Amino acid sequence: MYKVKEMFYSLQGEGARAGRASVFCRFSKCNLWNGREADRANAVCDFCDTDILGTDGQNGGRFADAQALCQAIQALWPENTPLAKPYVVFTGGEPLLQLDSDLISAMHTAGFEVAVETNGTLEAPEGIDWICISPKGDSELKLERCDELKLVYPQALAMPERFEHFDAAHFFLSPKATPTINSGPDLEKDKNTAAALAYCLKHPQWRLSLQMHKLLNID
């Protein structure tokens, strides 16, 4: 049984594959925050801005097996695109609580390239084509390598210096935003964007990653 908060087709908004058409499958639940505001202050990841509770989002639900979820993902990819490799991004919450070899195999059989966006604290099944790790706080990383490391900045317990020798092909800083809904300007993110920009200029190993989907007001 897979519990999915939401699924949608959009463009990847950040990181090394920004701009790529993707089906996003957001699993519910996380091991670093339970998704409840009352427990945010005590969570390892206390700045999450994503609703990860339940299965009531767009195209969300409970899927009995890998084939059922695979078919739901396939239905979101546009038809007649022979020149484009179908691409699915499993995210969360923490996708490695649910993503398994059966689902990866089903997606590969359907012709999809499989990516995951994880906090890196859980072992990953074999066969994932693209791994993005976003470390949170002082959590211990179980994964020893990734295709891209995307660090929310700043975090007192997870500063870039801690990861500069990590085995990753790409290194990104993503400015931390205010975790609560705010109809006005996000002054904290403006400040953090300036700080991340300055850090990247001083340490060119790192690249700045802005959330393009939010800037363009798309899913």
State the catalytic residue, choosing from 6, 24, 172, 200: 24
> Alpha-carbon distance 49 to 27, whole Å?
15
Known active-site residue 6:
no
Active site residue 45: yes
- Distance, in Å, from the CA atom of 178 to the CA atom of 1, rounded to the nearest integer, reads 33
Select which of 49, 65, 100, 219 is catalytic.
Answer: 49
140 is catalytic: no
Active-site residue, from 14, 25, 27, 30? 30
Is 164 annotated as catalytic? no
Active site residue 30: yes
> Which is catalytic among the residues 14, 25, 27, 45?
45
What amino acid occupies position 82? P
Q: Which of 14, 94, 117, 147 is catalytic?
A: 117
Peptide bond into 93 cis (omega under 30): yes
Among 8, 46, 47, 50, which one carries the catalytic annotation? 50
25, 48, 132, 146: which one is catalytic? 48
118: annotated active-site residue: no
47 annotated active-site: no
DSSP states of 80-95: S-TTS--EEEEESS-G
Catalytic residue status for 49: yes
Side-chain half-sphere of 187: how many Cα atoms within 13 Å?
Answer: 1
- Catalytic amino acids? 24, 30, 45, 48-50, 117, 213
